[in-house]
Structure 1
Amino acid sequence: MTPTPEPTVTQIPWGQTPAGQPVTLYTLHSAGLQVRISTYGGVIVGVDAPDRRGELADITLGHDTLSPYLSRDTSPYFGALIGRYGNRIARGKFELDGQEYSLTCNNGANALHGGPHGFDQQLWHAEPSTSSAGASLSLSRVSEDGEEGYPGRLTVTVTYTLTPDHTLRIDYAAQTDRPTILNLTNHTYWNLGGGERDVLDHLLSVQADQYTPTDETQIPTGELADVTGTPFDLRQPTLLGDALAVPHEQFERAGGFDHNFVLNPSADEGVGVGLLEADGVGNLRVVATLQHPASGRRLSVSTTEPGIQVYSGNFLDGSIRGKGGQAYGHRWSVCLETQHFPDSPNQPHFPPTRLEPGQTYQSSTIYAFSVDNAE
């Protein structure tokens, strides 16, 4: 029996930032899987995973070179590390201890994904390593007080680990010197078929009894709506094409799925968002599964977070050409962004996103890859 190769990390130069700083592309190798990560934006550039015949394909959208990642016009957060605050904050404003803070708005009247110069547009310091746990890459940076309008000098470390049991684990950690808000996530666009067509033939399940409806600007209304009897009921594997074909006012507003699901807590956390721990972080548990019956690929998502944003590639229209020159058309991917809820600083009944000096922000998400061998 051929022994499984030890986990390794390799690296190559990958161009320069607009300021002339060198960018490196790292590749994590473990048990036949490969994950490519850029020091620019902490971007997951690619994930090579086998189908039921053992044939590898890249199951993420993105680009072959650095240059298109430098512009949101050609890279709408493809694979990006998102911060300081994933998702939207209404009018780019929030209060802490009676003081109002104004953020840079970059999504109409709202702030989105940390602003125009968020974490996805920053260069990160990288430290690769290998161990029995797998191949790892730790990325770190300091976000200075006032960056994009957020208070506090924030020290952030995000560690990607590709394990021998075919999982990609992302561990987030951060500390601040002033009270601030924080909501970190990853924005990978998944296409388990290898990115050659839309994802309407994918099956998706999300363990959520509720979701947060949004207004016309995609800010949560504050309601925790029951998914029962709606296309948001994904508690059983559901064909994305079938779900998106159901007429619904929320789909008319967002163009499809672009919504936060209120994840069911694990059994020992009770039921309902109000019973999560005081910091809004739960136990690591499986919360979503994406399947591609044609190839047999399956992706399971586990997280400590209370929410997950499901985005069905609504704004992809074929104008962006990605890997291998492929035009990324409508619904060419689905994003599964584990998170705290959008606009939480302005919604007191949502799980809190406040971080205090002396505290350590901690969050973990695991993407587990497997294959269904039954055709």
Structure 2
Amino acid sequence: MNLKFNLLILVLLISGTACLSQTKTTVIQEKVKLSIKGEKVATWEGQDVFKYTLDNGKMQVELTNYGGIISRIITPDKDGKLENVVLALETVPDYFTKNGPYLGAAVGRYANRIGKASFALDDETFHITKNNGENTLHGGAKGFGVKVWKSETYKKDDAIGVKMTYESVDGEEGFPGNLMTTLWMELTSTNELKLLFESSTDKKTVVNLTNHSYFNLSGITGDVRDHELQIFADAITPAGAGQIPTGEIKAVAGTPFDFQTPKNLGAQLDALGEGFDHNYVTKRANSPELKKIAIVKHPDSGRVMEVFSTAPGVQLYTANHVRNFAGADGKTYQPHWALCLEPEAWPDSPNKPSFPSTSLAPGEKYVHEIVYKFGAEK
């Protein structure tokens, strides 16, 4: 009996070892192949402009060091069909002169609006460029989205990306301080598009950086009224004239602004009676926590996008002013053909002491991380 029992144990041990070996081999075979390609496509203001293509074997992201622009996000639907899901221009050089809506751009020094194009720091008032009526929008007339960034590619075990740097000199668009900014843009093996902004300054200034992609998960077949949206925020900062916040924080419960549970975007647009262009409060104070702030779904295609950010707010914009706009692939974009979810600080924070601060002093570091995670549901 003991001999038979020992033989049985030996057989089980050999069998278990074989199973472990087979499992390990399977994991190695399923390892994702990551690739990145860069090519010079133009020269702008004496600097080389590159187009980069990031591929993880399942989806692709195209971007450029002109404006830190994301020009394509090509991702599969529930049946595996690959389509671009961001509004785009046909070629990279088209962005030099035709990107009025900031399609896919890295915007700064201050994303969104600063009222009356001025703010004070330590009792000194700074007057910055007016480019939105009496206000400043997305950093002024020539913000970060129209600058050529220095760029280099990199690879990691689970991601490929492009590192970009831009130095905004003291006085650019009226902002104080020499501001050095680094932007890492990478695609992971798990279909995450990660953006990381880091800035430092030699003089006290204000900083608020984000990406301005216009998403349409249908593959841009029409408007986004059929999309489902959830925003993890219980309040907005209502705005007055010129879309400048009043300083209030207003609860969204029971209003058309309420996306705390998933809502059909078209129904909410109808209830509001206009397009969305509002800041949602995702945090009440600055913190380094990377928080899930939104989920977007397109029921017909099955595509899903989750959005994460460390910022205290996110601007929901439904492309209200994009009208008869000639886009890529022969398509003409119209109002509500996309939605922007711009993770960022609250608008006009430099003039609202009760809002989370956007000031940056020498020796400090501004850090903002954004993650867009893509998937599909049957």
Deviation at 1:6, TM superposition (A): 2.4
Say whether 1:283 aligns with 2:289.
Answer: yes
Cα distance between partner residues in 2 of 1:14 and 1:333: 27
Matching residue within 82, 87, 90 for 1:56: 82
Matching residue within 319, 325, 340 for 1:313: 319
Say whether 1:40 aligns with 2:66.
Answer: yes
- Is residue 51–residue 92 contact of structure 2 (8 Å, CA) maintained in 1? no
Say whether 1:146 aligns with 2:151.
Answer: no
Say whether 1:208 aligns with 2:233.
Answer: yes
Which residue does the alignment assign to 1:262?
281
Q: How does 1:223-262 map to 2 (within 5 A)?
A: 223-247=248-272, 251=274, 256-262=275-281
Say whether 1:27 aligns with 2:53.
Answer: yes
Q: How does 1:62-81 map to 2 (within 5 A)?
A: 62-71=88-97, 74-81=99-106
- Is residue 101–residue 322 contact of structure 2 (8 Å, CA) maintained in 1? no
SS at match of 2:94: helix
The aligned amino acid for 1:10 is K
Aligned length: 351
- Is residue 7–residue 131 contact of structure 1 (8 Å, CA) maintained in 2? no
**Structure 1 unmatched ranges of 5 or more:** 266-272
Deviation at 1:333, TM superposition (A): 0.2
Runs of 4 or more above 6 Å deviation: none
The aligned amino acid for 1:262 is V
Which residue does the alignment assign to 1:89?
114
Deviation at 1:4, TM superposition (A): 4.0
Deviation at 1:69, TM superposition (A): 1.1
Say whether 1:330 aligns with 2:356.
Answer: no
Cα distance between partner residues in 2 of 1:210 and 1:31: 39
- Is residue 68–residue 75 contact of structure 1 (8 Å, CA) maintained in 2? no
The aligned amino acid for 1:36 is E
Cα distance between partner residues in 1 of 2:300 and 2:221: 13
Q: How does 1:344-355 map to 2 (within 5 A)?
A: 344-355=349-360
Cα distance between partner residues in 1 of 2:354 and 2:371: 27
Deviation at 1:8, TM superposition (A): 1.6
Cα distance between partner residues in 1 of 2:372 and 2:226: 20
- Write out per-residue CA displacement over residues 216-242 of structure 1, whole angstroms, 9 at most, x where no aligned residue: 210001110010111100001111100
Cα distance between partner residues in 1 of 2:287 and 2:317: 22
Deviation at 1:336, TM superposition (A): 0.4
**Structure 2 unmatched ranges of 5 or more:** 1-25
Calculate the aligned-residue CA RMSD, in Å: 1.2
Matching residue within 207, 220, 224 for 1:195: 220
Q: Larger % of helix: which?
A: 2
Say whether 1:135 aligns with 2:160.
Answer: yes
SS at match of 2:332: coil
Cα distance between partner residues in 1 of 2:362 and 2:113: 24
- Is residue 302–residue 376 contact of structure 2 (8 Å, CA) maintained in 1? yes
Matching residue within 24, 37, 41 for 1:10: 37
Deviation at 1:74, TM superposition (A): 4.4
TM-score, reference length from structure 2: 0.91
Which residue does the alignment assign to 2:190?
165
SS at match of 2:234: strand
- Is residue 281–residue 363 contact of structure 1 (8 Å, CA) maintained in 2? no
Which residue does the alignment assign to 1:269?
none
Cα distance between partner residues in 2 of 1:195 and 1:15: 27
Matching residue within 111, 122, 134 for 1:109: 134
- Is residue 31–residue 166 contact of structure 1 (8 Å, CA) maintained in 2? no
SS at match of 2:266: helix
| Cα gap change, 1:74 to 1:352, in 2 (>3 Å) | closer
SS at match of 1:189: coil
- Is residue 298–residue 370 contact of structure 1 (8 Å, CA) maintained in 2? yes
Cα distance between partner residues in 1 of 2:165 and 2:354: 32
Say whether 1:369 aligns with 2:349.
Answer: no
- Is residue 124–residue 141 contact of structure 1 (8 Å, CA) maintained in 2? yes
Cα distance between partner residues in 1 of 2:312 and 2:138: 18
The aligned amino acid for 2:339 is V
Cα distance between partner residues in 2 of 1:292 and 1:247: 21
The aligned amino acid for 1:310 is L
In percent, how many aligned pairs have the same letter? 39
Cα distance between partner residues in 2 of 1:141 and 1:214: 32
Deviation at 1:141, TM superposition (A): 1.2
- Is residue 4–residue 31 contact of structure 1 (8 Å, CA) maintained in 2? no
Which residue does the alignment assign to 2:242?
217
| Cα gap change, 1:352 to 1:160, in 2 (>3 Å) | same
Cα distance between partner residues in 2 of 1:321 and 1:351: 38
